[in-house]
Amino acid sequence: MVIGKIVKSDSHINYVCQIFGPHEWEIQPRPADYAFGRFVRVAVRSLPTDETENAWNMFAEEPPATTTYAVGVIYNTILQNPAYGVLGPRLSNETQVEMFSPDYISEKAVLTYILVLGMMEVRTPGDGGQASQEVVTTMQGVPSLSLELDSQVETMSDEEVCNFHYFADPAGGPDSQHPYLHMGYLPHIINQPNSLLPMVTLRIIDQLEQLFPQNQSLLSIVKRNFAWRLKVETTG
């Protein structure tokens, strides 16, 4: 489900998404759709260059329909209201504005901050069926490509979140042949200077515990470690 668009970035991995307001999209997102700790994805435009396009044409084969997504997590929400504190002359109230000036665009907005956690490449079959998407590659950490302004931000289903976290890592690991649970973005979440990020980590772990009940004890190690530092050490 599309919830908004990228309007700004603070760094290569830190983006601001403006949630669609009324009439901006078919379905207006509810607060639950852009909740704290929600996984979202943003399609990255990675069209083949002209030369490769020609190469594909030469072989007269249809290029595989893959889409690259940047996967991120919502870690902050800001309610933007430029009219706040402006007590100046007002010709009409809000309902009258809607009636008399239908082309007036409201400047109020909901902004969410998204931290990019990695990328995944998904092959979409011709019929475009959501359920039969196939993950080609998954990568966690800082992506090489950046997002573009106005890119659409979509929420991710549980299955997609699972796919993003559970894969076989060809680079190594104790058992590189078989898929296992990855949270390779943890180090760079911790390094970000934002007080909400450790909390979002706990929220992520909670979600993963529900998605991967078999990995509960593995997750509990990280969870307890974070919880101890956040809750016991800061208050103690």
Q: Which residues bind other proteins (CB under 8 A)?
A: 140-141, 169, 171-174, 180-187, 217-218, 220-222, 224-225, 228
Judged by CB, which is closer to other proteins: 100, or 228? 228
CA–chain centroid gap for 40, Å, is: 3
The least distance separating other proteins from the CB of residue 67, rounded to whole angstroms, comes to 24
Contacts of 107 (CB under 8 A, 6+ apart): 80, 81, 82, 83
The least distance separating other proteins from the CB of residue 14, rounded to whole angstroms, comes to 19
Judged by CB, which is closer to other proteins: 130, or 217? 217
d(C-alpha 201, C-alpha 219), whole Å: 11
Please provide residue 135's backbone torsions phi and psi, each rounded to the nearest 5 degrees: -80, 125
The least distance separating other proteins from the CB of residue 124, rounded to whole angstroms, comes to 27
Judged by CB, which is closer to other proteins: 28, or 220? 220
**CB 108 within 8 Å of CB 81:** yes
Judged by CB, which is closer to other proteins: 139, or 147? 139
The least distance separating other proteins from the CB of residue 126, rounded to whole angstroms, comes to 34
What sections of the chain are H helices per DSSP? 50-59, 94-100, 158-165, 186-191, 197-211, 216-227, 234-235
d(C-alpha 144, C-alpha 164), whole Å: 17
The least distance separating other proteins from the CB of residue 57, rounded to whole angstroms, comes to 39
Judged by CB, which is closer to other proteins: 183, or 202? 183
